[in-house]
Amino acid sequence: MRLAELSRRSGVSTATIKYYLREGLLPPGRQLNATTAEYDEEHLRRLRLVRAMVQVGRLPVAKVREVLGHVDDESLGSSIRLGAALWALPQVPEPDEDDAYVRAAHEEVAALVDRLGWENAKCLATLSPAYRSLVVTVAAFRRLGYDWGAEQLAPYAELMHRTAVLDLDNMETLPPGAERIEFAILGAILNEPVLRALHRLAQEEETTRRYGFE
Amino acid sequence: MRLAELSRRSGVSTATIKYYLREGLLPPGRQLNATTAEYDEEHLRRLRLVRAMVQVGRLPVAKVREVLGHVDDESLGSSIRLGAALWALPQVPEPDEDDAYVRAAHEEVAALVDRLGWENAKCLATLSPAYRSLVVTVAAFRRLGYDWGAEQLAPYAELMHRTAVLDLDNMETLPPGAERIEFAILGAILNEPVLRALHRLAQEEETTRRYGFE
């Protein structure tokens, strides 16, 4: 397809597409002559991913380029590429290891992953941004006087594990390779608002079921 | 307790506590004489809630005052007070009803809540900010070419309902009244980062289980 059709099908203006091409966020089209290039479905897919990261995820262009660099690095196995791309997404600030609440939270999170038998989390621990952000939020709870520990967190963690199983089942409906990794990144950006909205709606539903409009 | 002890136990400086008192975010203490006031456990609890909203939730002071106004409105039943307080928290932008993706997303979300038998959601529909934010995020998915519909969303919604059941079970361990409502607001601010972190950690775990470090 030509640039105009790529623009029409993606809903992204030709000026923006040209900007993404210049910035290397989109691979160049196949040059037909000095002024015309041809684009394919892969360009369309990539353009949608860039748009999600920029517009929904509000990632700066340099960060988008870094994430895509991992997606396209064919020297690595696909699980490593996926991990690297997800880890490159913006993360919470580092836990302050001098803080007593943070140290207590570390112990609780370690007890949690031990109890769950999450071997990957036990092995990577604070190398994983997700692990670090769990420590930071558990510490915030503790600082506010709510001592949430492994026992309270475990049933939530089990439901989130079932959610992750759904995520991967959905991802596996796609062919392996870059498309799958792109879907996983989109999921990390878009699934979270969906889950948040579903969770809030379910809270309203359950509140009304239990207490009516008392 | 005196101001100094309230400050020590909450970790909030006396200058900040005085500011919250002036702004009406914290009820005045019992005046012992012209310069000394006495504070109790309820002040400490309220101070922690204010701190969570301001520091973790990044709510402006006027918004905190609005949320607390609902918590304290004893003319209303507790379910209504809780609903009003949660609805006053910051929400996503309104869906643009002229947009074809938004109209399609409306239909999918209506089909979803119908399928789930969520009577409260069916009845309130777009009156609920959670419902509107679900419409907005489903529309964002569709705009990117992923036609997530009621069928794909239903298993996620069921897991989020089980999460909401846990939330309310935890809330019911507290005495009814303002304390419960405060806990629910804290949950809305702090549980979401916990769930997000647990979800990401579970995704890493499940990815490694399925694919190893291929």
Query: For the segment A91-113, what is each residue's pLDDT rounded down to a tens digit?
Result: 666 777 788 889 999 999 999 99
Cα–Cα distance, B11 to B34 (Å, whole number): 25
Residues of chain A with Cβ-Cβ distance to B196 below 8 Å are: 133, 192
Cα–Cα distance, B28 to A16 (Å, whole number): 55
Asked if pLDDT for residue B66 goes beyond 80, the answer is yes
Report domain extents, chain A: 3-88, 100-211
Report ipTM for this prediction.
Answer: 0.76
Do B199 and A164 count as a contact with CB atoms less than 8 A apart? Answer: yes
Residue bearing the bigger pLDDT, B18 or B69: B18
Chain centroid to CA B14: 27
Asked if pLDDT for residue A183 goes beyond 80, the answer is no
Amino acid at B6: L
Report pLDDT for B64: 87
Cα–Cα distance, A147 to A139 (Å, whole number): 9
Contact predicate B10/B44, CB 8 Å:
yes
B58 at A interface, C-beta within 8 A: no
- Mean pLDDT in residue range A204-214: 76
A87 at B interface, C-beta within 8 A: no
A47 at B interface, C-beta within 8 A: no
Give me chain A's average pLDDT, please: 84
CA distances B4 to B13, B15, B25, B29, Å, are: 9, 10, 18, 13
Q: What pLDDT, in 10s, does the model give residues A172-182? A: 887 777 777 77
Asked if pLDDT for residue B37 goes beyond 90, the answer is yes
Residue A38 pairs in a beta bridge with A30
Give me chain B's average pLDDT, please: 84
Contact predicate B193/A133, CB 8 Å:
yes
Tell me the HSE value of A75 on the side-chain side, using a 13 A CA sphere: 2
Which residue is closest to B123 within chain A, CA to CA?
Answer: A205
Asked if pLDDT for residue A63 goes beyond 70, the answer is yes
DSSP type of residue B38: E
Which of A10-14, B104-108, B135-139 tops mean pLDDT? B104-108
Cα–Cα distance, A49 to A12 (Å, whole number): 12
A27: left (phi over 0), alpha (psi -120 to 50) or beta: beta
Residue bearing the bigger pLDDT, B117 or B123: B117
Report pLDDT for A116: 92
Asked if pLDDT for residue B181 goes beyond 60, the answer is yes
Q: At the top level of CATH, which class does the domain A3-88 belong to?
A: mainly alpha
Amino acid at B37: A
Backbone angles phi, psi at B39, to 5 degrees: -120, 155
Selected residue of B163, B165, B182, B209 to mutate for chain A interface (largest A Cβ count, 10 A): B163
How far apart are the two ends of chain B, measured CA to CA in Å?
60
% of residues, chain B, pLDDT over 70: 95
Which helix or strand (DSSP H or E) is residue A79 part of?
A: helix A78-88
Cα–Cα distance, B186 to A83 (Å, whole number): 31
B114: nearest Cα among B105, B122, B103, B126: B122
A85 at B interface, C-beta within 8 A: no
Asked if pLDDT for residue B1 goes beyond 60, the answer is yes
For B34-43, b where at least 16 C-beta lie within 10 A, e where not — what string? eeeeebeeeb
Considering only the beta carbons, identify the residue of A77, A137, A163 that sits closest to B214. Answer: A77
Which residue is closest to B128 within chain A, CA to CA?
Answer: A201
For A71, other C-beta atoms within 10 Å of its C-beta total 23
Report pLDDT for B81: 74
For B102-138, b where at least 16 C-beta lie within 10 A, e where not — what string? bebbbebbbebbeebebebbeebeeebbbbbbbbbbb
Do A138 and B194 count as a contact with CB atoms less than 8 A apart? Answer: yes
Cα–Cα distance, A167 to A148 (Å, whole number): 27
Using DSSP, state whether B37 is helix, strand or coil.
strand
Contact predicate A140/B190, CB 8 Å:
yes
Asked if pLDDT for residue A50 goes beyond 60, the answer is yes
Whose tokens are 């290039």? That residue is A37
Selected residue of A159, A170, A171, A213 to mutate for chain B interface (largest B Cβ count, 10 A): A159
Cα–Cα distance, B38 to B25 (Å, whole number): 17
A131: nearest Cα among A87, A188, A192: A87
Residues of chain B with Cβ-Cβ distance to A196 below 8 Å are: 133, 192
Contact predicate B132/B126, CB 8 Å:
yes
B78: nearest Cα among B185, B164, B187: B185
- pLDDT band of residue A67 (cuts 50, 70, 90) is confident
Residues 90-129 of B with CB under 8 A from A: 92, 113, 118-121, 124, 128-129
